Amino acid sequence: MRSLSPVPVPDEKPEERAASPRITVGNEEPVYRPDVAVSFFRDMALAKRDPIGFQTEADRLRRHNAQAAAETRADNSTSSTDGGEFIPPQYLGNLYAAKARAGRPFANRVPKLPLPPTGMTMTLPVVSTGVSVASQATENTALSTTAIVEAVNTVEVNTIGGYVEASLQLLERSDPSIDVVYFNDLIGAYDAELDRQLIAGGGTSGEHMGLRTVTGNIDVTYSDSTPTAAELLPKIYDAAQQVFSNRFRMANLVIMHPRRAAWMASSLGTSFPLFQQGNLMQAAGTQDSAFATMLAGLEVILDPNISTVYSQSGSTNEDEIYVVYVDDMYLAEGPFRTDVFMEPGSAALTARFRGFSYSAFFCERYPKSIANIIGGGLAAPTF
C-alpha cells in the first residue's frame, strides 16, 4: 500500500522541491484517463494538504492543467500553485453511471453573454419611450418630435452550487473513486437547477426570474376536460401570433415537457390544416423518437424541468407550454468551479467537495416575447 507520508527526494533542497517544475505539453497522453489508476480529486486533496510533500500529485495536476489549457479549455477553471481548482478531466463525465438528471435543454438554447469578472448585478439599457414621426402638416412647419426615455433592466448575479462530504478513507481507498461520482452528480444537479430556474424561478431568494414569472408576459388559457392534440394546436398558433402582434418578432421556440410532446406525437387526426408546412403532407408538425420535434414551423425543446404539478384552473398535475422569441433573452454564465477542502473536517478526516457557478439571466427585456399556455387542458395526458 502506498504511504501517504511526505518523502523527501534525495539530494534536493526543500525550496527546490517547492518550486513548480517546467511543464511541457506536446503529444503526451492525458494525465487522467479511464485506463490509468490515478484520481483527479484524490490528487487535488493531497496536493492541497501538502503541495511540497505530495509533489508527484501536484505535478500531475499541473501537467493536466497545462494539457487542458492547450485544448482551449482553460476558461473552465482557475489554476493554482497549491493543487486547487484544476480543470476536471473530460472523461469524468462519461465514466460512471451517475444519478439520472434532467439536464439543461432550455439553458443550452438561450443566447449567451460573457459574465463580467466583477460585480453582483448586470444591467442592460431599455428604451421605454421611443421617438415619434408624423406627416408634415404643411411646408415649413415643424416635424413631430418626442425625446427618447431610457430605463434599465438590472438582474442579479446569482450563485448555484452545493457541496458533499466524504471520509478521507472513502476518498483514498474507494475503487472506483467516490470523488468521480460526487463530481458528476454536482454537475448534473447544477445543470438541472439552473434550467429549472430559467423556466420557473421566482426572482427572489437568490433565484433567477424565469419565463413563467415575468410580469407582463402573455397568457393563453387552454381549458378542456377532454383535451386533444388537435384542440391544443390552435392555442400554440394563438400564442405565436400574440408574440408577433405585441413584440413584432416571430416566435421561434416552443418549450414543453416530454410527456406533452409524446402525447401530441401519438395523436391521430381526421381533419388537416388548410395550409401545409414545408414538405409536410396533411400535418402541422414533425416527430422523431416518439416526440413532437417541430410544431407549425417552430422548433420544439423537450424539457423535463417543466413542472407537472401546476394547478391554474382547478385541475391538478398540469404542465405548461412556453412559446417564445428566444433571441430576446440572454444567459451570462461563469465556469463551474470545483474544489476539495480538507480543513473543515480535518479533525475527523473528512474531505469536502464543492461545486458552484455564478450566472445572470435576462428574460424581462421584452415580456411580450413570452407566451405561457396554461389551463386544465394541460392536465396529465392519457395515452
Tens of pLDDT, residues 90-130: 665 455 566 899 999 999 999 999 999 999 999 999 998 99
Q: Grid coordinates representing 36?
A: 490509468
Q: 3-class SS at 119?
A: coil
CATH code for the domain in which residue 242 is found: 3.30.2400.10
φ and ψ of 333, to 5 deg? -135, 130
> Looking at the domain assignment, is residue 277 inside a domain?
no
pLDDT band with cut points at 50, 70 and 90 for residue 11 = very low
Residue 53 burial (10 A CB sphere; 0-12, 13-18, 19+): middle
* Cα dihedral 319→323→328→333 (10° resolution): 30
Same domain, yes or no: 114 and 81 = no
Across the range 57-78, mean pLDDT stands at 66
Tens of pLDDT, residues 162-184: 999 999 888 888 766 788 888 88
pLDDT band with cut points at 50, 70 and 90 for residue 343 = confident
> Looking at the domain assignment, is residue 3 inside a domain?
no
Q: How many domains does the chain have?
A: 2
Give residue 158's pLDDT.
98
Residue 214 burial (10 A CB sphere; 0-12, 13-18, 19+): buried
pLDDT > 70? residue 27: no
Domain boundary among 58, 75, 95: 95
The answer to whether 89 and 125 have CB atoms below 8 angstroms apart is: no
- The C-alpha atoms of residue 69 and residue 67 are separated, in whole angstroms, by 5
| Rama region for 370: left / alpha / beta (φ>0; ψ in -120 to 50; rest) | beta
Compare 338 and 28 and report the one with higher pLDDT: 338
Same domain, yes or no: 134 and 206 = yes
Across the range 65-89, mean pLDDT stands at 50
The answer to whether 184 and 177 have CB atoms below 8 angstroms apart is: no
Across the range 339-365, mean pLDDT stands at 92
Domain of residue 20 covers 14-95
| Range in 13-22, 36-45, 270-279, 316-325 the model is least confident about | 13-22
Give residue 57's pLDDT.
87
Same domain, yes or no: 43 and 116 = no
Across the range 307-332, mean pLDDT stands at 92
* 3-state percent helix, strand, coil for the chain, nearest multiple of 5: 30, 25, 45
Give residue 179's pLDDT.
82
Same domain, yes or no: 108 and 89 = no
Residue 350's nearest CA partner among 201, 204, 167, 197 is 167
Domain boundary among 61, 95, 129: 95
Give residue 88's pLDDT.
63
Domain boundary among 65, 95, 125: 95
Same domain, yes or no: 51 and 200 = no
Q: What number of CA atoms fall less than 13 Å from residue 16's CA on the CB side?
A: 6
Tens of pLDDT, residues 230-252: 999 999 999 999 999 999 999 99
Same domain, yes or no: 71 and 119 = no
Give residue 72's pLDDT.
41
Residue 240 per-residue DSSP state: H
* Cα-to-chain-centroid distance, residue 333: 8
pLDDT band with cut points at 50, 70 and 90 for residue 69 = low
pLDDT > 50? residue 2: no
Give residue 71's pLDDT.
58
> Looking at the domain assignment, is residue 208 inside a domain?
yes
Please give the full DSSP string across 253-272, using - where no structure is assigned. EEEE-HHHHHHHHH---SS-
Give residue 49's pLDDT.
77
Same domain, yes or no: 140 and 71 = no
Same domain, yes or no: 63 and 209 = no
Give residue 269's pLDDT.
79
- The C-alpha atoms of residue 374 and residue 319 are separated, in whole angstroms, by 8
Residue 74 burial (10 A CB sphere; 0-12, 13-18, 19+): middle
> Looking at the domain assignment, is residue 242 inside a domain?
yes
pLDDT > 90? residue 61: no
Give residue 52's pLDDT.
84
Give residue 26's pLDDT.
52
φ and ψ of 178, to 5 deg? -65, -25
> Looking at the domain assignment, is residue 9 inside a domain?
no
Q: Grid coordinates representing 172?
A: 483514498
Same domain, yes or no: 199 and 338 = yes
Rg of the chain taking only CA atoms, in angstroms: 27
Beta strands at 149-156 and 253-256: parallel, antiparallel or unpaired = unpaired
Same domain, yes or no: 70 and 146 = no
Tens of pLDDT, residues 125-149: 999 899 999 999 999 999 999 999 9
| Range in 22-31, 49-58, 367-376 the model is least confident about | 22-31
Q: 3-class SS at 228?
A: coil
**Averaged confidence pLDDT in the chain:** 84
Please give the full DSSP string across 326-337, using - where no structure is assigned. GGG-EEEE-PPE
- The C-alpha atoms of residue 116 and residue 10 are separated, in whole angstroms, by 47
pLDDT > 80? residue 333: yes
Give residue 5's pLDDT.
38
Give residue 93's pLDDT.
47
The answer to whether 185 and 172 have CB atoms below 8 angstroms apart is: no
- The C-alpha atoms of residue 157 and residue 4 are separated, in whole angstroms, by 41
> Looking at the domain assignment, is residue 77 inside a domain?
yes
